[in-house]
Structure 1
């Protein structure tokens, strides 16, 4: 599903940041865009940055279920600083419905991950996909096997290395000089 991303540019509140950027909305089914100005009010400008396809994968349905069960299901907007363009300081990397994928991007420390409320049309689409493809995997607690590994000693160290002496004794002066 094509999703357009709206980013707000507001004046910065410190002298170190001229602008404050935040992903605020998504536009389901939007056409192509490249930093199209939507509106400007009192120095705050809203841009339709770009439109990317959101793909759903059957292997990620657990993540979608997790997101749909939250109080406010969201889409995650992943952006990266772009120094190549002076008119567009951020580059849209991805839009995802998976909180697990968003966490992977957040962990690298270079990407900006913003959470935007999922519109009803997108939520219905994700719910229908989950209903078709999700298979609940039952939790199985692993148990240790019943073999006693502490009852006998299999040996000390690597059996391929010849141990001619007791490995627990203190080295003698003759052995330490070599």
Structure 2
């Protein structure tokens, strides 16, 4: 029970999505164990042992054994991934990719995932949501930065072309004058 409470606290607004678009569900092993994404191996081991003590099927009443068995399997899978440095690194890269994908989708189409995984609008009327004032300000700043970048790149390219034409013209005039 304590692991489930910690799991709710560990999953904050920056938590990765549970179901990436176009792929199988990615379980959040950090949420299952109730540890932070920056947790060290000792913290992961401690959280795993505490959670297993609480949900181990042999310590449960017969009517709760099947659900405890499922929880124990989830804990074992999470611990197997997070306790191995190689598996944890691969898992973290998968989570980051999914998180970046979700942020991009929310930036450009107002979010991809239904809020609670429930009823999706079959006609797409709710695919875009109204932007908040903070989002409009952020978008304006981003657009300004993009415009400045385009102007700098285009201006630099134009300047290089003009200088090239000027040098070419001067060299051509000098060659014509000498012949």
TM-score interval (norm. to shorter): under 0.3
**TM-score if structure 1 supplies the norm length?**
0.22
Structure in which a larger fraction of residues adopt strand: 1
**TM-score if structure 2 supplies the norm length?**
0.22
Structure in which a larger fraction of residues adopt helix: 2
